[in-house]
Amino acid sequence: MAVIKAVSSRAGIKTILNYVMKEEKTEQKLLSCLNCTPDMVQEQMEFTKRLWGKNGGRTYKHFVQSFAPEENIDPVQAHQIACQLAASRPEWQDFEVLIATHEDKKHIHTHFVVNSVSCVDGHKIQQSKAELQAMKDYSDQLCAKYGLHITEKGKTFDGQEREETAAFSKDTYQLLKKAEQGEVKSYVQDIALAILDCREQATSRTDFVQRMNERGYGVDWQDSHKYITFTDLKRQEQGEKQCKIRNNKLEKYYNMNFGKESLEHEFEGNARSQQTEQRAREQLAADREAKADNRTTGADNIGAFIANIAAQVGNAEAGRQERAAERSRRSAGDTERERRAKEAKREAEASMRRHRRDDLEL
């Protein structure tokens, strides 16, 4: 049996893609895509967003198809079912979709990460409750087709009500878990979360510092200093002593790389992606302008053609009228000649009659 869950994730698109594509989670490389490729999925999704100028709001939709632990199914078969499910969704056909099957838990499950922006016309995805239910129903049909169990509608494996879950990336989850367990201070967690988000978007050190400042965090990044110091500015204003932390301490807490070299490498990659996308946008704009010029030229040509035809028609009409007038003139002349001929004939006949009378009188 399989259960479909819509996941409300707060992680950035880069973070969620990195998480679902981790090698230890997809041992058999069970990765597939719609309208993109697994090795370029992040670049393609981000390119689509920037191409259509839609980087804000929800950046993706996230769904999970999970099979019960006792279900007799292997990862390859689960991935086949997931691919068929994704291909069947009409609301996904114009969007880039990553399909990743995981084997790292008691039950096999597949992640679907759907870009929020259409790669065809740039519209944002809107998946209704009815469409989500249709997806669940088709999942049940596929399970029946493969001889698997089917869950009771609206229920989970253990008979509980299905609910939308709030999930995070693995890195984000670790941050929240450590804060909840008291292993780190809450402000440290907030700083780490801000760094994760800002490094995904920044294209330079200056850009990164500015983004962090906008979130309320100071960044002391100097070439003469070995470490970067992050400050919770609000806590600092309130006189809190515990308001700063260095990147090396963050790395110890979370086992992540927040160093200068790692961040700058991230910025360079983001900058290259933006430059590539900018060139693509410029080329697209040039192509559209060329098409518009062609349409204008075509319209001008059509207008000239129509004007030429109209002139020809006008000339033909003028010629026709001239010929009609000529015929009228000729007709009038013929009538006058006929009248004169008849009159001359009558005069000749009258003259002949007079001559006969004169002859008779003699």
Provide the CATH number for the domain around residue 162.
3.30.930.30
pLDDT tens-digit readout, 282-333 = 777 777 777 666 655 555 666 666 666 667 766 766 766 777 677 666 666 6
Asked whether residue 147 falls in the same domain as residue 11, the answer is yes
Q: Kindly tell me the burial class for residue 136, based on how many C-beta atoms sit within 10 Å of its own C-beta (0-12, 13-18, 19 or more).
A: buried
Residues 6+ apart with CB under 8 A from 156: 3, 162
Q: 3-state SS string over 60-99? A: EEEEEEEECCCCCCCHHHHHHHHHHHHHHCHHHCCCCEEE
- Which residues are within 8 A (CB) of 345 and not within 5 positions of it... i.e. 6 or more apart? none
Same domain membership, residue 156 and residue 109: yes
Domain boundary among 224, 258, 292: 258
Cα 40 from chain centroid (whole Å): 16
Number of domains in the chain: 2
101 shares its domain with 183: no
Residue 275 belongs to what H/E stretch?
Answer: helix 260-361
State how far the Cα of 285 lies from the Cα of 49, in Å rounded to an integer. Answer: 16
C-alpha span between 298 and 245 (Å, rounded): 65
Domain-located, residue 279: no
> Are 55 and 10 part of one and the same domain?
yes
pLDDT of residue 162: 43
Q: What is the pLDDT of residue 156?
A: 44
One-letter amino acid identity for 237? E
User: Is residue 318, in this structure, part of any structural domain at all?
Assistant: no
**107 lies in some domain:** yes
Is 361 a domain residue? no
Based on the domain organization, do 67 and 157 belong to the same domain?
yes
> Which residues are within 8 A (CB) of 8 and not within 5 positions of it... i.e. 6 or more apart?
62, 164, 165, 166, 167
Domain boundary among 240, 258, 276: 258
Q: Which pLDDT score, from 0 to 100, does residue 160 have?
A: 44
Q: Residue 333: what pLDDT?
A: 63
Is position 362 within any domain? Answer: no
Residues 16 and 147 in one domain: yes
Does residue 95 sit in the same domain as residue 210? no
Question: What stretches in the chain show pLDDT beneath 70?
Answer: 1, 10, 23-28, 104-106, 150-185, 291-310, 313-314, 316-317, 319-320, 324, 327-336, 355-362
Give me the domain span that covers residue 219.
178-258
Answer whether residue 13 is part of any domain.
yes
- Inside any domain, residue 116: yes
Q: How far apart are CA 1 and CA 3, in angstroms?
A: 7
If we measure between CA atoms, which residue out of 201, 204, 251 comes closest to residue 230? 251
- pTM of the entire predicted model: 0.47
Q: Are residues 202 and 149 in the same domain?
A: no
39 and 155 together in one domain: yes
> For the stretch 241-253, what's the b/e string if a residue is b when 16 or more beta carbons lie within 10 angstroms of its beta carbon?
eebbbbbebbbeb
- Identify whether residues 62 and 33 lie together within a single domain: yes
Same domain, 112 and 27: yes
334 belongs to a structural domain: no
Among residues 258, 275, 300, the one where a domain terminates is 258
226 and 145 in one domain?
no
Please check whether residue 116 is in contact with residue 69, taking contact to mean a CB–CB distance below 8 angstroms. Answer: no
